[in-house]
């Protein structure tokens, strides 16, 4: 049976490069630390470190163990937090992931939850849908606000629709496009575009490209980006216009003007909440889910 303490020792040595450095961080003497590492090597019959005057470097087996041990230790910490939450009712830390579009929804839910459960804490992650699906699969987050379609086919995943998006163009206030109440695909095809794109999988970018193709138009793609601030910065520099899905209640983008593109609304991705069905005793997570779907 694997014990967690030797793995935590091993992980510290990997991260700090030597037994002496790890012992300083862990506040333990070097002999028990060294003994724990040798016991791990003896137990599996593998060499975990190459030792030299410059320090200790993980072998191939050591690198593999480091990745798995990191995941296992993280999960053990999360289990401890979750079990504490079971016993403490409205206490605990809820881990929320969100795409850029979902940030206002997350902030609103946090404000509501904090007023009702002042001892509740939050850990937040931002990224694209694929990244957040991976975090949820690895149980690094509890819930995530993401775009459809999902890349996973996990039947145990609960999906709760939250809002329908519509496409908007981001442009400078003095742009010729600013004189229009809405923008057509033909008008967009004349401008360098910065388009939202997932790091992996099918999503907004692919839908938009297919729609232009069906209309017999060839868009001028300046850049694709998975990060809204990057898109915003490029537009502010006058390099092009941004094209991204937005929620109806969130059309303000600082100094930039946003205009609707009705022709693309049919392919705008829904914003949904995804999570694994919580244990009946996990009242904190159930409360958080209810806050988003209310």
Residue 79 lies in a domain: no
Work out the mean pLDDT of the chain and round it to a whole number.
85
Residue 108 lies in domain: 89-163+271-293
Q: pLDDT at residue 282 above 80?
A: no
Domain match, 177 and 250 both? yes
Q: Which residue has the tokens 């069905």?
A: 277
- Cα separation of 224 and 222, whole Å? 7
Of 74, 107, 123, the last residue of a domain is 74
State residue 223's pLDDT score.
Answer: 92
pLDDT band at 200 (very low <50, low <70, confident <90, very high): low
Whole-prediction pTM: 0.61
Q: pLDDT at residue 75 above 70?
A: yes
Give pLDDT tens digits for 210-256.
Answer: 889 988 999 999 998 877 888 899 999 999 999 988 886 665 566 78
Domain match, 255 and 193 both? yes
Domain match, 220 and 231 both? yes
């Amino acid at each position: 049976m694997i014990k967690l303490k030797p793995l935590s020792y091993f992980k510290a040595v990997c991260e700090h490069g030597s037994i002496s450095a790890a012992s300083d961080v862990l506040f333990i003497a070097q002999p028990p630390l060294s003994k724990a590492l040798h016991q791990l090597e003896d137990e599996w019959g593998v060499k975990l470190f190459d030792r030299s005057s410059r320090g200790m470097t993980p072998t191939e087996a050591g690198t593999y163990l480091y990745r798995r041990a990191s995941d296992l230790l993280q999960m053990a910490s999360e289990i401890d937090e979750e079990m504490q939450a079971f016993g403490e009712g409205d206490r605990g830390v809820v881990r929320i992931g969100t795409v850029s579009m979902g940030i206002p929804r997350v902030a609103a839910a946090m404000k509501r939850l904090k007023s009702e459960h002042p001892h509740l804490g939050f850990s937040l992650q931002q990224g694209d849908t694929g990244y957040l699906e991976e975090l949820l699969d690895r149980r690094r987050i509890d819930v995530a606000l993401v775009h459809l379609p999902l890349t996973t086919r996990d039947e145990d995943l609960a999906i709760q629709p939250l809002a329908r998006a519509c496409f908007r163009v981001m442009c400078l206030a003095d742009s010729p496009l600013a004189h229009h109440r809405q923008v057509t695909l033909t008008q967009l095809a004349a401008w360098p575009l910065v388009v939202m794109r997932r790091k992996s999988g099918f999503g907004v970018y692919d839908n938009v490209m297919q729609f232009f193709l069906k209309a017999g138009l060839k868009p001028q793609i300046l850049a694709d980006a998975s990060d809204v601030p990057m898109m915003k910065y490029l537009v502010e520099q006058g390099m092009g216009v941004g094209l991204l899905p937005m929620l109806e209640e969130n059309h303000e983008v600082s100094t930039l003007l946003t205009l609707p593109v009705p022709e693309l609304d049919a392919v705008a991705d829904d914003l949904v909440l995804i999570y694994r069905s919580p244990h009946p005793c996990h009242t904190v997570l159930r409360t958080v889910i209810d806050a988003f779907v209310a």
